[in-house]
Amino acid sequence: MTNEKMKALVTGGAGFIGSHLVDQMTVNGGKVTVFDDMSAGSMSNLDRGNDSPNLKIIKESLLDPVKVLEAVEGIDIVYHLAANPEVRTSKAGPEDHYKQNVQATYNLLEAIRKRGDINCLAFTSTSTVYGEPDEIPTPETYAPLKPISHYGASKLAAEALMCSYAHMYGFRCVIFRMANVVGPRSNHGVTYDFVNKLRKDPTVLEILGDGTQTKSYLYVNDCVKGMLLGVEKSNYDVEILNIGSEDRINVLSIGQIVIEEMGLDDVEIRLTGGVDGGRGWKGDVKIMQLNMSRLKSLGWQPQKNSSEAIRLTARSIIKSDN
């Protein structure tokens, strides 16, 4: 079946990426159930589809196995986006990542096992599972995987669980290892932080680290199109696909873009110097770019580069707060 004909469950569907995925699927005519505890998501993110007869919203937690089992009844495909996305330990500790990224995934997999009729599970993993690879752009075949943050470790643990359940219980699994995804409705990350800092004090922008951290940024529309295509076109029982932009941008350049988009002049840039050789925080991967040849071979191509994605994101954040 194509994505449009499947009955889909989207965990974290009221969140940033999840709501954009839900929008696209409902536009395509798909029947979608959103499962979200609203701890990070928002009902306002689903405004475009609230009146659609094809959209159902369940406000519950993946930490409740009974509710999860009820939610997967009659579902063909599950998009698992619910997670704690924070890398910094000041915002999320080991227990947060274990419960929200590992325990929640286990509960979902158990529900899929018990129902026994789910065709496919798609999962938003992360580039941080690679840790600090020697090969950049980094392919899906890179090893060994040595994440340097609790977030990356919890996502890698979830990947391993999914692979085992898919092989043992006969459903297809597509894992997307993502670069930094940005765009409208984003409520965390470097662009969001910079806008908020400059709103508080438009004369100074503090940048964590030494400013040379350089990463790939993917616009959310490109991300959603890649996910839908990857699920439709992939041929393996367990498929791992990198998804990101074709280039990368450093954090100083991101700061300059945000300053320009806010129309500010004479802003002082203050670098904190960071930790461990100029990182913004413990667990911050300093250089990241993914090799996407596998997904591109299926017919996907990102339309925005990192700079364009950051600029459009800054504009949307500034506009939404006015």
Q: Which residues are catalytic?
A: 151
Handedness of CA 307, 308, 309, 313 (dihedral sign): positive
- The encoded tokens of residue 174 equal 């597509």
Q: In angstroms, rounded to a whole number, what is the distance separating the alpha carbons of residues 305 and 158?
A: 29
What amino acid is encoded at 226 in this protein?
G
Instruction: Please state, in angstroms and rounded to a whole number, the distance separating the CA atoms of residues 91 and 260.
Output: 28
The DSSP-derived string for 201-262 is -TTEEEESSSS--EE-EEEHHHHHHHHHHHHHH--SSEEEEEE--SS-EEHHHHHHHHHHHT
Instruction: Give dist(CA 3, CA 322) in Å, integer.
Output: 36
**Separation of alpha carbons 142 and 156, rounded Å:** 14
Residue 162 has a CB neighbour count (10 Å cut-off) of 25
DSSP 275-292: BTTTBSSTT--SEE-B--
In this structure, are residues 20 and 221 in contact, taking their beta carbons and an 8 Å threshold? yes
Q: Find the Cα–Cα–Cα–Cα dihedral 208, 213, 219, 223, rounded to 10°.
A: -110
State whether residue 272 is helix, strand or coil. coil
Alpha-carbon span 227 to 79, nearest angstrom: 9
